[in-house]
């Protein structure tokens, strides 16, 4: 065993010893500080370069897939080479804020809007319905003597139609229309989430 090598390792050890001089202790503190600063700098640079970000859900418009205060991971460059797919959960910029919604129709695709008047006033309730759900909804609302309108809307090129999973609590494309893809901040990575909006239960 080489004694000089062992002494050299001990000399650059960060841990202090009772017999150290003030100069050595100060040197070790400086080395410790440099290491901490270096690690923090590398982590900060790596995080900026990384395509992933964390986010927290505010509100219940995406419930039950994402509930209020739910922490999620987002990929910011997920759509650098392709458009969002139907069923993707995305973070988008709207009215100066980032909001989380689900893509229900992409560029050139169609979305069905169901509108009817409920008993609470003259306003019309609007839902996005899947094609497979139209017959059930038409029958249900007809039995309740509701004036029902089904409207098919095509999404313009370069846009997507987004909706909150909890449609009764969501402000989305039904109110502000299809959104340009460039306003999407990133894709929410949620492997266990469903790929479609929950079945509609009209407020009758």
The domain ranges of the chain are 3-49, 52-189
> What's the CATH number of domain 52-189, 3.40.50.2300, 1.10.3720.10, 2.10.109.10, 2.40.160.20?
2.10.109.10
What local confidence, expressed as pLDDT, does residue 88 receive? 93
Of 39, 104, 36, the C-alpha closest to 65 is 104
| Nearest one of 130, 55, 137, 150 to 87, comparing CA atoms | 130
Question: 38 or 35, which is more confident?
Answer: 35
Task: Kindly report, residue by residue over 116-160, the tens digit of the pLDDT.
Answer: 766 665 455 677 776 667 777 777 777 766 667 778 889 999 999
| pLDDT value, residue 128 | 77
Instruction: List the alpha helices (DSSP H) in 86-192.
Output: 134-143, 173-176
- E-state strands within the chain: 52-56, 71-75, 89-94, 97-105, 110-117, 124-129, 148-154, 159-163, 179-180, 184-189
Of 99-108, 109-118, 151-160, least confident by mean pLDDT is: 109-118
Nearest in space to 174 (alpha carbons), one of 96, 61, 57: 61
Sheet holding 184-189, edge to edge: 52-56, 71-75, 184-189, 89-94, 97-105, 159-163, 179-180
Q: How far apart are CA 53 and CA 76, in angstroms?
A: 7
Confidence of residue 20 (pLDDT cuts 50, 70, 90): low
Name, of 6-15, 25-34, 174-183, 186-195, the range with top average pLDDT: 174-183
Bridge pairing between strands 52-56 and 159-163:
unpaired
pLDDT in the model for residue 10: 36
Q: Give the residue with greater pLDDT, 195 vs 179.
A: 179
Of 21-35, 92-106, 113-127, the range with the highest mean pLDDT is 92-106
Is residue 115 predicted with pLDDT exceeding 80? no
């Amino acid at each position: 065993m080489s004694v000089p090598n062992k002494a050299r390792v001990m000399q650059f050890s960060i841990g202090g010893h009772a017999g150290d001089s003030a100069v050595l202790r100060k040197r070790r503190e400086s080395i410790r500080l440099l290491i901490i600063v270096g690690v923090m700098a590398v982590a900060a640079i790596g995080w900026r370069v990384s395509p992933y970000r964390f986010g927290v859900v505010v509100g219940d418009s995406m419930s039950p897939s994402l509930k209020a205060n739910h922490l999620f991971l987002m990929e910011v460059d997920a759509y650098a080479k392709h458009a969002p797919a139907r069923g993707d959960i995305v973070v988008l910029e709207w009215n100066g804020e980032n909001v989380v919604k689900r893509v229900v129709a992409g560029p050139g695709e169609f979305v069905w809007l169901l509108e009817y008047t409920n008993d609470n006033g003259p306003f019309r309730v609007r839902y996005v319905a899947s094609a497979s759900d139209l017959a059930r909804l038409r029958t249900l609302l007809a039995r309740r003597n509701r004036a029902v309108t089904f409207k098919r809307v095509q999404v313009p090129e370069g846009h997507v139609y987004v909706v909150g999973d909890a449609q009764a609590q969501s402000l989305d494309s039904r109110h502000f229309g299809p959104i340009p893809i460039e306003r999407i901040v990133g894709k929410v990575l949620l492997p266990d989430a469903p790929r479609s909006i929950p079945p509609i239960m009209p407020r009758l």
